[in-house]
Amino acid sequence: MSSVATYSKNFDAYFIKKLDDYDMILVDDGICSDVLNSDIKELIFSDTTKNFHELLGANEDKNTLIIDENFSHLADISVIRLIVRGYDESLDRLSFDAGLLNLSKPYKYSISDGGIEIRLDIIAKDSDINGFLSTIKYEYFSTEFSSDRTIFVYADADLVFTKRLKVSKKDQI
């Protein structure tokens, strides 16, 4: 399925409405209507590009976590694991600069119903571990359907960072 919807008119020529269904929007130009879900990541108009979640209204509740801890005590490690429990594949983004690490093999990730796990096998003596960890950026949205998230960072088997992110708005409605 395509992750982009393209429109021939300017953004202002369309009526866009969040539908009562949690993850859908209506795009209407008065002649033709589209109903889109989060499988569409971007909407390209003749004058601009919009993110689906921006149009859904989720950007009002966008949160960002940047890990800014000092990990200078990490030296001779061979594996870094990033785990986010409660990760929402359609709403969340996890980014980092793996170029700061000398990877012994390509990193692997798995996404399950309950989260995401990323494993990076490294050659520590040639890696900027502290620099890499400071590039981890996690963007997540708070909606009435969100669940809390917890992020874990392991160096080998040692837990070096954990943070619980309260994002649920269920109790706020």
Write out the chain's pLDDT in tens, 173 residues: 458 999 999 998 998 888 765 678 889 998 999 999 888 889 999 999 988 877 876 545 677 888 877 776 677 789 999 999 998 877 788 899 999 888 999 999 999 888 999 999 998 776 778 888 889 999 887 766 677 899 999 989 889 889 998 875 544 44
User: 62-172: what fold?
Assistant: Immunoglobulin-like (2.60.40)
Predicted model pTM:
0.64
Cβ partners under 8 Å of residue 103, min gap 6: 120, 121, 122, 123
Residue whose tokens read 């989060």: 38
**What whole-number distance in Å separates Cα of residue 23 and Cα of residue 39?**
9
CA distances from 68 to 92, 131, 132 (A): 19, 10, 11
Cβ partners under 8 Å of residue 44, min gap 6: 4, 5, 6, 7
Other beta carbons within 10 angstroms of residue 160's beta carbon come to: 18
**What whole-number distance in Å separates Cα of residue 37 and Cα of residue 52?**
8
Domain ranges across the chain: 4-56, 62-172
